[in-house]
Structure formats: structure tokens, C-alpha cells
Amino acid sequence: MAINTFTFGGVTSSDFGIYVSGEGLFNAPKRATEVVEIPGRDGAYILDKGHFENIEVTYRVFNQEKNLDDFRTKLANLRSALASQIGYQRLTDTFHPTEYRMAAFIDGVEISPIKYNTASEFEIKFNCKPQRFLTTGETAVSVASGGKVTNPTLFDAKPQLQVVGYGEITFNDKTIVVDNVPIGNIVIDNAKSLVGTPVTFTINTEYANIGDTVSFEAIKATRVWTSQNKISYNGQTASALSFESRIGSPDSPATFVYGTSSTETHTETFNNVVVYHHGITDTYTASITITVAYDGDDTFTVTSTQVMPGFCLTSPPTIETSDIMLDSSMSALGNPMYIDLDIGEAWNEDGGTPVSVNNSVQLPAELPTLPSGDTTFVYDNTITSFKVLPRWWKV
């Protein structure tokens, strides 16, 4: 006769000399209902609340050790191992190799030694979600647009979708929208730079992918200069004038490529006639040059230089940047995005760490499920990979 065991999270009972007799493992969960007695009406009204309650799963277990020290050590280690598993954990046993539960260990263990204090028989209880999940439902299946997934059970499954790309996904008359939106966006306030002195800007590249576009709506250097003598400019007498040079604009931003170092330079030249107060005229040339050097990662160095006529007092131009956009969009993400229709959350993985992308996913008010039988999925061709992890279950 085979000896049976259970595994809870990272704890397997046989590692501690604990084995299962099999009692009490085949119970069904209770459906959440309320029985209402209505005066003057035969029979009670049963209000079904639409879900099953958690169920207590009890394993009747036993052990036998060679001596008292081994007996005490293994049981102490078992208690510590079970108590270290926080929250719901996967629970399996050798009685049901094609199923698993999600369980929590919350009741502790009471042990009564027998046979010279080297053996015992006792109960280990778990508070479990009502579902018996099928192992056949924990493998993600690729589904083409127009393809079907068949639920072999009588219960609505709450799947996880695995998506690469963006667009609309429709099934069971409900639509999920994955937006092709930028993940990174940073606005930098004005910063002043002395003539020829670099100003450094650093952007957040935590979720950047090689080849993403980094764009500046505008990098602008503005020069306000003051003459040493009173002058006439465009018919007006003034002692202060201004002009500017700009790389990029809202219609045509200055762009760089993440992962590739590069430099952009722009020079704006101004030619004007100066009329001095004694009537003598002169022509002057002034210019501002902006140089933007990108290191290919997260740093931009902006340098401004200027050429001014001799009668001007020197003063630094003002460097101004706005709407620096790192376009790590959904279409650029190579890893799958996971949409969990049990909890209504979406995330991507960054080096194995989940990163929320809920702002990129529009879910319907009522989350779609996979009912018994066939479900057809339809999605846009801008989605390059689509998989369904169905999570079938029964009671």
C-alpha cells in the first residue's frame, strides 16, 4: 500500500516523517445561502449569494521515529515550517494528483505522543478556498484570434491572460482594451545655465527597452541682452532685447534612441541694424547654439553658447526644457503583460519583479469569465502573442 503525503507551499510532510491516513479529504464546500422564512407562505425562501464558503481541510497524519530526540526534533521542525508559510499557499496531496487547493495554515497543531513517546497520530487543519483547481488549467495555452478555449467543468473559470502587444480583446460579449500608452513621462522645470557651462538632466529609464524613443517637445535657450548704449530696435528705443534658439517643437520634437549615444546641435543667428542715439547705424550679428549630448542611457547634457555684438553686456542664457517623454509603450514591451481576471489587476515583469501596468488596461465593469463549454476569443492584429491560463476548478 502506498504511503500518502501532502505538500503545503514549500513544506512536504514526508520531509518531517509525517504521512497521511486519508481521512476527511473528500468534503465539499458549503454554498453561501440565507434561508428566509416568510410569514403566510409555505416553505422558506433561499437566497443564494453566488459563491461558496471557505472549507476546512483536515489531514489525519501519523509518524514513527526511532527515539525521543528524533521525534521531538522532527515535530518541532514541522510546526516551524508550516507556521512560516504566510497567507494562501498551494496545497497538494498524493490522493488527488490532478488537483490542488489554495490553503492557509492558521489553527496550529496539537500532538499527543503514544508508544514510548516516539510515535503520534494527530490532525493538521488548513483553511482552504472552496475550489479544487485542476492542474490541467495551470498551463497557458496559445489562442489565435477567432480560436476557442473549452471549459471541461461546470463552473465559471477566472483566467489569466498573457498578452504581447496592444489592442482590443473580446470574449463573451465583453471587451478588454490594452492601450499603446507611454510608460515614462517626465516634465523638467526651467533651469539656468552659464555660457558654456553644461546643464545635466536625468530621466527615469526603469522600464525602458533598447530602441525606445526619447523625445523632447522643446529645448530652448533664451537670451535677454542689455546694450552698453541706448539703441533703437525695430523703431523702438530700448536697452534690453531678447531672442531664442530652439531644438524641437510640439509638431516636431527632438528625438533620441534609448541605448544609442548621440548629439544634436542647433544654432540660431540674428542679424539686425542698430541705430545709436547720435544717428549712426551699425549692423550686428548675434547667435545662440544649443548642443544636446545623450549618453544612450538616462543622462542628457545641454550646453548653450552665444555670440554677441561688442556693445552688449554679457549675461547667461536661460535653458528651458519641457515634456521629456520616454516612449516605452505597450507595443515596445517584449515580455508578456499579465491580466488577472480574478482580481482585476495587470502587470509586467521587470527582472522577475511584478510591475503594475493597470493604467494601460481598460477592464469592463464586470470581469469576463470562462463558462462551461466553448469560449471564442477575438483580438486585434496589433497583439502579437495571446495566451490563456484558464484555471479550471471544481468542488
CA angle 141, 144, 147 (to 5 degrees): 90
- Domains of the chain: which residue ranges? 6-130, 140-172+335-394, 184-330
Which of 260-271 are b and which e, b meaning 16 or more Cβ less than 10 Å from the residue's Cβ? eeeebebebeee
Give the right CATH number for 6-130 from 3.40.50.10480, 3.90.100.10, 3.40.50.10190, 2.40.30.200.
Answer: 2.40.30.200
Tell me how many helices (H) and strands (E) the chain has.
1, 35
pLDDT at 385: 93
DSSP codes of every residue in 284-339: EEEEEEEEEEE-SSSEEEEEEEEE--TTEEP-PPEEEEEEEEEEEEGGG--SPEEE
pLDDT at 332: 61
State the pTM of this model.
Answer: 0.62
| Residue 46 CA: distances (Å) to CA of 40, 55, 260, 352 | 16, 21, 67, 47
If DSSP codes are grouped into helix, strand and coil, which group holds residue 105? Answer: coil
Q: Which three cell numbers stand for residue 106?
A: 492558521
**Whether 70 contacts 92, CB under 8 Å:** no
Please choose, from the candidates 277, 192, 199, the residue with its C-alpha nearest in 3D space to the C-alpha of residue 233. Answer: 277
Dist CA 111 CA 82 (whole Å): 14
List of the chain residues with pLDDT < 70: 1-2, 23-26, 112-116, 181-196, 206-207, 224-241, 272-282, 310-316, 322-334, 350-351
**Whether 87 contacts 105, CB under 8 Å:** no
Q: Which tens digit of pLDDT belongs to each residue from 19-62?
A: 998 766 667 778 777 777 888 777 777 777 777 899 999 999 88
pLDDT at 329: 64
Distance of CA 167 to the CA centre of its chain: 18
**Residue entry with cell 512536504:** 12
| Residue 129 CA: distances (Å) to CA of 109, 111, 260 | 20, 26, 51
pLDDT at 190: 45
DSSP codes of every residue in 8-70: ETTEEGGGGT-EE--TT----PPEEEEEEE-TTSSSEEEEEEEEEPPEEEEEEEEEE-SSHHH
